Amino acid sequence: MVELPAPSRTRNAAATRQAILDAAHNRFAKEGYDGASLREIAADAKVDAALVSRYFGSKEELFVEVLNCAPDASDLFEGTLSDFGTRVATKILDDRDVDQGVEYLLIMLRSASSLAAAEPLRRSMRTHFHDPFAAWLGGPQADVRARLAGDLIMGVCMSQAITSDHDLDEEGRASLRSRLAKVLQAAVEP
């Protein structure tokens, strides 16, 4: 009986790149920018550390790419300004898809004290959230209104990550939704 050679491992650049991004996302979410190392990210992705540098260059460039993969927040800007508060309060309190966005908030929070991560974080927040939000809002002090509403949204999302029902019964959650809608609406109004 003739033995056939073992099949060689197929190379898939897209799959390798995605495995590295997934591993980096997990490491940055758990340990922040300073706590995560390229060697650990490579080990988690089951690739050689040199491949991380080959695909992404530096740790900062990999971090930026992870931030660029954050869920798109443009659905917050769909609809009219007049129903923004109600629409967004309902989305962030009732939509389970918000959980993925919380992972990115963890990356930001755990990396916020890093000098190396500070500028990429600021740039990412501006590019992917605050600037599009302010453009959608338009009018006087749109940047201030976008920042305030964004900060409120992030805070509620973090609170929800800790206690999904906010330790409230159904009536209390309905009241929270109503009050949050009013606060968000006031934040975005010119």
Do 57 and 112 lie in a common domain? no
| Calpha distance 141→135 (Å, rounded) | 11
Boundary residue ending a domain (47, 68, 89):
68
Question: What confidence tier does 8 reach under pLDDT thresholds 50, 70, 90?
Answer: very low
Paired tokens of 108? 């930001």
47-102 pLDDT tens trace: 999 999 999 999 999 999 999 998 878 888 889 999 999 999 998 888 766 566 77
| Calpha distance 16→14 (Å, rounded) | 5
pTM (global) more than 0.75: yes
Do 85 and 60 lie in a common domain? no
Query: Which residue, 22, 81, 74, is CA-closest to 52?
Result: 22
- CA distances from residue 79 to 87, 156, 159 in whole angstroms, order as listed: 8, 21, 26
Asked whether residue 33 is assigned to any structural domain, the reply reads: yes
Higher pLDDT, 7 or 118: 118
Boundary residue ending a domain (50, 68, 86):
68
Task: Tell me the residue range of the domain where 55 lies.
Answer: 13-68
Do 158 and 130 lie in a common domain? yes
pLDDT at 9: 39
SS3 state of residue 7: coil
Based on the structure, what is the number of domains in the chain? 2
19-54 pLDDT tens trace: 999 999 999 999 999 999 999 999 999 999 999 999
Other CB atoms closer than 10 Å to residue 186's CB: what's the count? 13
Asked whether residue 147 is assigned to any structural domain, the reply reads: yes
Do 125 and 104 lie in a common domain? yes
Q: Over 50: is that where the pLDDT of 7 sits?
A: no
